Amino acid sequence: MQLIAEQLVINRGGRTIIEGLSFAVSSGEAMLLTGPNGAGKTTLLRGLAGFLPLQFGSVRLDGGDPDKSISEQAHVIGHANAVKPTLTVRENVVFWARYLMDDDEVDSRVARALTHFQLDDLEDYPAGYLSAGQKRRLGLARVLAAIRPIWLLDEPTVSLDTVSVGLLAAAVNDHTKNGGMVIAATHLPLGLERTKQLQLTASSARMESSQEIHL
């Protein structure tokens, strides 16, 4: 499977933020979006997910399910964690998993997701009592609780400590090793394998590729 973006033009707030941008990401790869605040990282992710209209250009998938849009095949994790404070930690993840996948796989995948992000000891606590870092891990646990081949992650390391960043990196590496695809905006080094780096500025974008890139 390959996600191909060609000559993208995306506006936000009445301004052109992304102009003439083309790139491709294949199964088994992660692409890191870097650049200063305001360079268009969030705008690009929202355009790829279909949350913002394209003024020009196209985004398509070669491979994948032809009957589903990109957003229907992607996990999209934004700045907000989308945590329901009155539900328990486990109930939050179960809610998303049942919405996205068949019931017979939910319990085992939710358990693995909570264990991976070190939330299993807190699964019966109301999510509203969690710290900022724990809420971020809870938001990220959704990507492991339901299978979707594409992960679009906007600043996923916000509020995470060093150990938690390592848990995220391990999840991303496992996903790409199993044929998944990740596009993430991040300011922190992740030490990922098979990465591309797309550096955005106010006026241009530059692509770098490597087996491993430390930002």
Phi, psi of 89 (to 5 degrees): -55, -50
With beta carbons less than 8 A apart as the criterion, state whether 45 and 34 touch. no
Q: What is the pLDDT of residues 24-54, one digit of tens each?
A: 999 999 999 998 888 899 999 999 999 999 9
Q: Helices in the chain by DSSP H: which ranges?
A: 41-49, 89-100, 106-116, 132-145, 162-177
Q: Considering the chain, what is the average pLDDT of its residues?
A: 90
> Domain holding 206: CATH number?
3.40.50.300
Mean pLDDT in residue range 119-125:
97
Is pLDDT at 89 greater than 90 in this prediction? yes
Q: Is 67 exposed, middle or buried (0-12, 13-18, 19+ CB in 10 A)?
A: exposed
Give residue 212's pLDDT. Answer: 40
Mean pLDDT over 84-95 rounds to 96
- Confidence label for 125 from pLDDT (cuts 50, 70 and 90): very high
pLDDT of residue 209: 47
Task: State the residue range of the domain holding 73.
Answer: 2-213
Q: What per-residue confidence (pLDDT) applies to 10?
A: 96
Mean local confidence (pLDDT), 71-94: 94
pLDDT band at 188 (very low <50, low <70, confident <90, very high): confident
Instruction: Kindly state the average pLDDT of the residues 184-202.
Output: 83
Cα gap 6→4, rounded to integer Å: 6
Share of the chain above pLDDT 70, in %: 93
pLDDT band at 203 (very low <50, low <70, confident <90, very high): low
Mean pLDDT of 128-148: 95
Query: What is the pLDDT at residue 215?
Result: 30
> What's residue 37's pLDDT?
86
Q: How many domains does the chain have?
A: 1
Q: What pLDDT does residue 38 have?
A: 86
